[in-house]
Amino acid sequence: MIILANIQAFNRNDCIGTKRSRSSRCTYQFQSVSICKEMFIHLYGIGYNRLCRLKGHYERYGIHPRTHGNTKTLPSNTLPQSITENVHHFLTNYIEENAFVLPGRMPGFKWEDVQVLSLSETKTSVWHVYTATCKASGEQAVNHGKFVDLWHQFCSESCCGRTHDRSMLDMSTEHHQLVRAANLPEHEKADCIKGQQEHLDCAQVEREFYRRTCSDAATTFSQTDVETNLNKMHEPCSFSGTMHYSFDYAKQVHFPSNPMQPALIYFKTPRKCGIFGVV
């Protein structure tokens, strides 16, 4: 509208509603200073073609808001409502049958009830199942990109398992089966207890290996500290031995930090800073 007002102010021909073979001449000013067309285009951040379209619009309709030609019309690639509902029903049923609810245990999600699929499944594998189902039933299937968009739209609280969540998912699955084994036959109960015990044994082996590695690294470091001066420069890769490095957020502090915090701001939380430590 500002550009149309400028065209009206500095247009040499005010005849509106007639179609001309060429656009009428127009002078350009900015803050009462005459400028060229290139500077006018640069100041208002438009292109030459858009300026010509605005001048043509002014000659036909005057100062009037422009309306896009596709207003109140659906794009040609719009999916029918029935196909969108089929994707919604498929995702709802699939997640209800195959996902596990892990309340408050998934980092990076703000929802309390997060539904997690198996680690062997991805959005692509679920899409392949969906396309096979549509092919068997003779219905139209959507492409992978649209399927993922509808997943985020309808089932945003559901996600696929990640590699570092393997232990948590395995333990949750076994615990879920063990809790539901009350009315099962004895051999199925024994299988659930056996799977839970195997998981605990594996976790114990990993924990012992971790402790043994830390102990060996401490012994190696104490011997190296006596034999080698670690404060001097050494050649790269000149050390023959094994070390164990631990890294984590060692501490979380607030800034600005005030050990004598006034009582008036007791319930106000300042910004937090996580100090990352490597040992």
Residue 51: domain span: 2-61
Q: Which residue in 21, 22, 39 sits closest to 30, CA to CA? A: 39
Confidence label for 71 from pLDDT (cuts 50, 70 and 90) = confident
Looking at the structure, tell me whether residues 51 and 93 fall in a common domain.
no
Looking at the structure, tell me whether residues 90 and 141 fall in a common domain.
yes
pLDDT at 273 exceeding the cut of 70: yes
Confidence label for 11 from pLDDT (cuts 50, 70 and 90) = confident
Answer with the one of 124, 143, 161 that is the final residue of a domain. 161
Distance CA 27, CA 35 (A): 8
199 domain residue, yes or no: no
pLDDT at 187 exceeding the cut of 80: no
174 domain residue, yes or no: no
Note whether 128 and 141 are within 8 A (CB): no
Instruction: Report CA-CA distances (Å) from 254 to 27, 84, 247, 274, 275.
Output: 60, 47, 21, 9, 11
105 domain residue, yes or no: yes
Note whether 256 and 270 are within 8 A (CB): yes
Looking at the structure, tell me whether residues 91 and 157 fall in a common domain.
yes
232 domain residue, yes or no: no
208 domain residue, yes or no: no
Averaged over 58-65, what is the pLDDT?
A: 83
Mean pLDDT of the chain: 78
Looking at the structure, tell me whether residues 9 and 44 fall in a common domain.
yes
Quick: pLDDT tens for 122-174.
889 999 999 999 999 998 899 999 999 999 888 887 877 665 555 554 555 55
Quick: pLDDT tens for 210-239.
888 888 888 888 888 777 887 888 888 888
145 domain residue, yes or no: yes
Looking at the structure, tell me whether residues 112 and 49 fall in a common domain.
no
Looking at the structure, tell me whether residues 27 and 93 fall in a common domain.
no
How would you class 123 by CB atoms within 10 Å of its CB: exposed for 0-12, middle for 13-18, buried for 19 or more?
middle
How many Cβ atoms sit within 10 Å of the Cβ of residue 239? 13
pLDDT score of 130: 93
pLDDT at 1 exceeding the cut of 60: yes
Quick: pLDDT tens for 29-59.
888 888 888 998 888 888 889 888 888 888 8
Answer with the one of 161, 178, 201 that is the final residue of a domain. 161
Q: How many domains does the chain have?
A: 3
Answer with the one of 127, 161, 195 that is the final residue of a domain. 161
Confidence label for 67 from pLDDT (cuts 50, 70 and 90) = confident
